[in-house]
Every structure is written in structure tokens, then in C-alpha cells.
Amino acid sequence: MSEILTRGHRPSGSSLPRARTVPAWSLLAATTVLGGALGGAYGVVKPPAYTATSYVIAVPTDKGDPSAALGFAQAYGRVATQLAVLGDAQVWAGVPLKTLEADVRTATSPDAPMVAVSATSSRPDRAADMANAVTRSLTQHANASQKSTHVQLLSFSRAMKPTSASSPSPTVTGLVGASAGGLLGGLVLLVRPRRTGDTARPASVPGPATAADVHGQL
């Protein structure tokens, strides 16, 4: 009996060309460039900020304990941004109370009885005035009770008018924006659905045997 030779038929649509896909690196490059442009524009549009810092130091009186000065300095650092202190400071600084609440920060040291008062403003002279006004008000409130605390608060260093901005430059904001854009683009590439390879070709279906082949087998 002779063997039946059959041929599979390929679907007609398999000969169509594949659609071109955008390379993965192009998306990463686009998000990086866009992030850098937006970051640089933000640094140019936003006005520069200036920060001035003044320092006060807590010292014990004749009847005071030197170790207690450190604890009171920590307490004065928390009191400096309270309403009682800022309410008097706003008169000397010439700014609203809300401005002092938003733009004045304090810092203390665990090793030294010192309080740093920092103020930030778009004007360097105003930043210095704000910091000095808060330390002046804090000193008056602290020394009003020195007879009971046996600790005196003294001015250690007045805030000077800053000569350079404390806010980041457009170059820095541009680099930060580019990094964020590149990170975002990388995350998009990671979570996007992956394209599968070539689809498996359908199994060839044997064609119907002709009448001559059938007669040849008999």
C-alpha cells in the first residue's frame, strides 16, 4: 500500500509584516529628558530662599547646676516656636505671625546647652531679622524666670544677612527631575506587559486524498 503524501496549508494572514515596536530605551530616555526639563524649569521659576541662623546659650547662675543648663536648653528649643514667643517676635521682625510659624525652625544639641534658631525668607535681610527677633523674644521669656530656674539664656551669635541662597539651584533641581523621570520610566518598563515571541505555527492539516490516490491503494 503506497503512503499518502499530504501537505499542510498555511493561513493566508501569516504573510503580513509585523508592526514595528518602540525600543525600550526610547521611553526611558524620553522620561529622563522630560523630568530634567521640568525640574530645571521649577528651579528657574521658583524664587530663591535665604536662611539665616542665630544662636543662644544657656548658662547656670551662681546657684545653678551646670548639668541643668543642658536640659533647659532642650526645653527652650521647643518653646521658641510657641505662640508666646512668636507673638512678641512678630513685632520686631515686621512679619505676620503665620510667617514666623511657617518659616522659623529651631535645633538643639545633646552635648551643648545651645539653641539654634533658623529663619527662611525670599529676602536675605528679612531672614536675619526674623531669626534675631525670635532669639530676642526667647531670651526675654527665659530670663524672666531665671530666679526659679537658676539658668540664664544669653545671645551667643546674632544672625547675619546671608550672601547666598539656601534653596537648590536650577541645575540641582534639573538633575533631581531627570533622576525621577528615569526612575519612573524604568518602573513603567518593568510593569508593562511583555510581548510574547512568535506565535506557534498551527499544525498542518492534511489535505483530502484525491480519487486517483484512493484507487491506487486498492
pLDDT tens, 68-98? 889 899 999 999 999 999 999 999 999 999 9
Other CB atoms within 10 A of residue 99 CB: 17
Q: What angle do CA 126, 132, 133 make, to 5 degrees?
A: 85
pTM of the model: 0.61
Average pLDDT (18-24) is 58
What is the average per-residue pLDDT within 167-182?
A: 65
147-151 average pLDDT score: 88
pLDDT category, 63, cuts 50, 70, 90? confident
DSSP-derived letter for residue 50 is E
Residue matched to cell numbers 525621577? 180
CA dihedral 148, 135, 154, 149 (to 10 degrees): 10
Beta strands, E only, the chain = 50-60, 104-108, 114-121, 151-157
- Mean pLDDT to the nearest integer, 154-161: 93
pLDDT-derived band of residue 198, with 50, 70 and 90 as boundaries? very low
Give yes or no for a contact between 73 and 114, defined as CB atoms under 8 angstroms apart.
yes
CB 131 within 8 A of CB 53: yes
* Confidence at residue 95, expressed as pLDDT on a 0 to 100 scale: 93
Query: What strands lie across the sheet with 104-108, from one edge to the other?
Result: 104-108, 114-121, 50-60, 151-157
CB 133 within 8 A of CB 89: yes
Closest CA relative to residue 141, chosen from 97, 84, 63, 96? 84
Going by their DSSP bridges, the two strands 104-108 and 114-121 should be labelled as antiparallel
**Could you read off the pLDDT of 106-133 as tens digits, one per residue?**
999 888 999 999 999 989 999 999 999 9
Q: CA 197 to CA 206: how far, in whole Å?
A: 26
Share of the chain above pLDDT 90, in %: 39
Q: What is the pLDDT of residue 97?
A: 94
Looking at the chain, the whole-number percentage of residues with pLDDT higher than 70 is 60
Phi, psi of 207 (to 5 degrees): -75, 160
Q: Mind listing the domains of the chain with CATH numbers?
A: 24-46+168-190 (no CATH), 47-157 (3.30.70.1130)
